[in-house]
Amino acid sequence: MPDPMRIRAVMMGEVVDVKILMSHVMETGQRKDADGNVVPAHYITEVTATCKDKTVMSAAWGPSVAKNPYFSFRFKGGAKGDKLSITWKDTAGGTRTDEVTIN
């Protein structure tokens, strides 16, 4: 099981300000290890954010998103106390979903 994400979702007027820090190697597949062997690619390809059954953000990522990705976005329609759910999927079939309460 991958490590949990750190998520902050805060009301900023009528907009929800979301900040996420994920724990992931984001290996590009172009790097070699100390023995000269290529380190296989392993990175997040999809990120989706859902609030009250509505997709408020979806993103397609490649290997050039930095290791332990930081991602921030803002959406309308959320309120204090609502749940926001973030899911990522990676190239190795790994996935992780975390939920946070908007405050």
**Nearest distance from residue 32's CB to another protein, in Å?**
10
Cα torsion 12, 15, 21, 27: sign: negative
Cα torsion 28, 23, 6, 46: sign: positive
Which residue, 42 or 82, has its beta carbon nearer to another protein? 42
**Nearest distance from residue 67's CB to another protein, in Å?**
7
What amino acid is encoded at 15 in this protein? V
Q: Which residues of this protein are in contact with another protein, per CB under 8 A?
A: 3, 6, 8, 10-13, 15, 17, 19, 21, 23, 26, 28-30, 38, 40-42, 45-46, 54-77, 89, 91-92
What is the Cα 24 distance to its own chain's centre? Answer: 9
**Nearest distance from residue 35's CB to another protein, in Å?**
15
Which residue, 1 or 60, has its beta carbon nearer to another protein? 60
Strands 83-90 and 15-21: unpaired
